[in-house]
């Protein structure tokens, strides 16, 4: 560990404050947590979800609203999964937690052909298990550890492979309208989480499903964005800002903007001097 980023160093305290501020701002901007909420922090054993839990615990102590927090891990029965790590860690923190057991690993391995991406099915099975638990245990918000870079990667995955201008929203209503999913790390860059995780020495548990695949489309996009960021620092932040500043009238989706209504709008509103000046300038 770098002595400059130990949990007692000034650099670590600044990093922690920076993360806490970004998470607090995202929660405030998107009204993620309300008075009396019962928040389920989904813990995978990776750096992102550990950081998510840390930030929520910190904010819980000083937030202007009271909310309950429950850490939940889905044990997918992956071979060699260290079942003792998370219970020991969470017990040490003193945070309420539950471990859900569901053998999604065998299902994914049986259904997905060798060499094909497993993430889609694995994600759906995992989401279904977490949604069921939330419905049965009075959970009002489901918190996931997706960060800023995940959101930008998803934007390009949809752009390149699905033909959609779509990313991950910081707050989402599930398709069945029964659950609200929140992403409190939406404003946080991954490299900051990596630094924080190393300083906190989280007991990281690697994924033997998606983590072992080298042909993932997401990995291709991640490498592309990483190369852009090395050549043009700040590009990922600029792309994320664009996700947060969408001009529907400047795209081409008639379901997003009423293009047909522009004719009625033009006839209903008189042209101002500014409009006339802009029109004149455009015609020169």
Token digits of residue 39: 């928040």
CATH 3.40.50.620 for domain 3-243, yes or no, is yes
- Please report the pLDDT score of residue 270 as a whole number: 66
pLDDT of residue 79: 79
- Write out pLDDT tens, residues 4-47: 556 678 999 999 999 999 999 999 999 999 999 999 999 999 99
For the stretch 176-225, pLDDT in tens is 899 999 999 999 999 999 999 999 999 999 865 554 454 578 889 999 99
Cβ–Cβ < 8 Å for 70, 38? yes
Measured CA to CA, the distance from residue 34 to residue 65 in angstroms comes to 6
Q: Closest Cα to residue 146, out of 277, 41, 230, 234?
A: 41
Query: Which residues of the chain does CATH 3.40.50.620 include?
Result: 3-243
Q: Give the separation between CA 170 and CA 52, rounded to whole angstroms.
A: 13
Q: Output the six-digit token pair for 78.
A: 């992956």
pLDDT over 70, % of the chain: 83
Q: Round to whole Å and give the CA distance between 20 and 59.
A: 7
Could you tell me how far CA 95 lies from the centroid of its own chain?
22
pLDDT of residue 210: 53
User: Which pLDDT score, from 0 to 100, does residue 4 have?
Assistant: 52
Q: Strand order of the sheet with strand 38-42?
A: 97-101, 68-75, 38-42, 141-143, 180-182, 171-173
pLDDT at 27: 97
How far is 98 from 117, CA to CA, in rounded Å?
Answer: 29
Element (H, E) at 149: helix 148-161
Measure CA of the first residue to CA of the last residue in the chain; give whole Å: 62
Please, are residues 36 and 66 in contact by the beta-carbon 8 Å criterion? yes
If you average pLDDT over every residue of the chain, what do you get?
88
pLDDT of residue 84: 92
- The Cα 46–Cα 50 span in angstroms is 6
Per-residue confidence at 75, pLDDT binned at 50, 70, 90?
A: confident
Phi-psi region of 63 (alpha: psi -120 to 50; beta: other; left: phi over 0): beta
pLDDT digits (tens, 9 = 90+) for 233-271: 999 999 999 999 999 999 999 999 999 998 887 776 666
Query: Rounded to an integer, what distance in angstroms lies between the CA atom of residue 259 and that of residue 255?
Result: 9
High-pLDDT (> 90) share of the chain, %: 67
pTM recorded for the entire structure: 0.86
- Residue partners of 231: CB distance under 8 A and separation at least 6: none
Asked if pLDDT for residue 111 goes beyond 80, the answer is no
């Amino acid at each position: 560990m770098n002595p400059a980023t130990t949990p007692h160093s000034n650099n670590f305290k600044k990093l922690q404050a920076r993360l806490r501020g970004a998470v607090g701002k995202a929660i405030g901007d998107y009204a993620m947590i309300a008075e009396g909420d019962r928040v389920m922090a989904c813990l995978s054993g990776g750096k992102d979800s550990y950081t998510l839990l840390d930030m929520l615990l910190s904010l819980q102590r000083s937030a202007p609203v009271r909310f309950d927090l429950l850490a939940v891990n889905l044990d997918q029965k992956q071979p060699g999964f260290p079942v003792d790590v998370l219970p020991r860690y969470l017990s040490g923190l003193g945070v309420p937690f539950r471990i859900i057991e569901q053998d999604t690993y065998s299902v994914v391995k049986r259904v997905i052909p060798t060499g094909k991406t497993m993430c889609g099915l694995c994600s759906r099975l995992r989401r279904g298990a977490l949604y069921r638990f939330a419905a049965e245990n009075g959970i009002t918000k489901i918190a996931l550890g997706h960060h800023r870079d995940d959101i930008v990667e998803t934007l390009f995955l949809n752009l390149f492979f699905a033909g959609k201008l779509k990313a991950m929203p910081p707050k989402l209503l599930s398709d069945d309208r029964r659950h609200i999913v929140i992403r409190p790390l939406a404003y946080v860059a991954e490299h900051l989480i990596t630094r924080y995780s190393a300083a906190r020495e989280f007991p990281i548990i690697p994924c033997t499903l998606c983590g072992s695949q080298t042909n993932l489309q997401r990995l291709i996009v991640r490498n592309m964005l990483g190369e852009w960021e090395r050549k043009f620092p700040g590009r990922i932040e600029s792309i994320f800002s664009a996700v947060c500043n969408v001009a529907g009238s400047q795209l081409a989706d008639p379901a997003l903007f009423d293009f047909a209504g522009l004719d009625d709008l033009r006839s209903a509103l008189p042209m101002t001097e500014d409009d006339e000046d802009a029109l004149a300038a455009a015609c020169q």
